[in-house]
Amino acid sequence: MKAAGLFLAFNGLWLIAQPMPALGALSVYGWLVPYRERLPYGETPAAYNLSTNSLEAMFATHAVRAPKAADEFRVIVIGDSATWGILLRPDETLTSQLNARGLVTPDGRRMRFYNLAHPIMSLTKDLLLLDVARAYQPDRVIWLHTLESFYRAEQLRPPLLQANADRVRALAARYRLRLDVARLPAPAWPEQTFIGQRRLVADWWRLQWFGFAWATTGIDQVYPEYTPRRSDFAADRSWKSFDAPDDLTPALAFDVVAAAHAMLGDVPLLLVNQPIFISSGQNSDLRYNTWYPRWAFDQFRAVYAEQAAANGWQLLDLWDAVPAERFTDSPVHLDARGVQTLAQALIATW
């Protein structure tokens, strides 16, 4: 009875204090083990990595948390799994390749690029991460994305948004985002006790222990055999529930892009329509790849250019900057040489 009473009291105190954000910010990274170069992601223990829905725990592992040097020009790079680096080793990612070039600003500051991308395509997921990242004094932000990230009906799909529903609601209210936040779960009080948050606590604990194995091996991802992206397609021109000549504009979340500009204020934001695989196989006259019929992607590019011009956004359209043979298992995932080509295309515009 005494043990049960103490257990109930502990859960009651946890419910009142809500210590998970403070606990998540505690980390062995940066003092007992080095910081990671990309946010935690994965479900395979052999990768010494895991996915967690605690934003504090995610950022506490990352190199962006290190104090900003006096001569540093800090560039935060956000995006989806292609930018995070699926099937790429840590030194092959876009930010690693940019850092390896030793770039310097005209006023002599060292450019340091930070990979704050996270898999699953959603502009709103990127906005949530950007809201946390702006506390780390960025001098510039580069945001890579593609048409899939814009689809309004799937903006709230990522588990990270579902688990941080209150923060997403706050962002939607602050920037008047046209999102159906009523679909987000409203956690009941039992879910805010220690029992209800035990998975978050367990993930935080495992992430600390994984840090030691990761620091020793440098492994943060398992590289399985994969099925290459398809080059031949059915004679299908549909995208989501649309078909030519439908107007996609109402279905695209350009208001989230506007919110990112408002959030950053004077910090420059470079929007990048990232490279996609362009097939030359069967029915490639109808589709660029498995994701995009030509009419839909062409319309997206035209509308995006119009929105950027009307709002004064800096948009770099690199959709066809990488050869088809450099794509791996999806229409956006690149191999290391493809990332080199993308990095060079980015640098050429500065």
Q: For 101-136, write each residue's pLDDT tens digit.
A: 999 999 999 999 999 999 999 999 999 999 999 999
pTM of the shown model:
0.94
24: confidence class by pLDDT, cuts 50, 70, 90 = confident
- Say yes or no to pLDDT of 12 above 90: no
Percent of the chain whose predicted confidence (pLDDT) is above 90: 83
Chain mean pLDDT for the chain: 94
pLDDT at 18: 82
Domains in the chain, CATH or no CATH each: 2-347 (3.40.50.1110)
Average pLDDT over every residue of 39-55: 92
- Calpha distance 343→247 (Å, rounded): 33
Note the pLDDT tens digit of each residue in 184-197: 888 777 788 888 88
Least confident of 71-75, 194-198, 266-270, 301-305: 194-198
- Say yes or no to pLDDT of 55 above 90: yes
pLDDT at 45: 87
Strand partners, 77: 115, 142
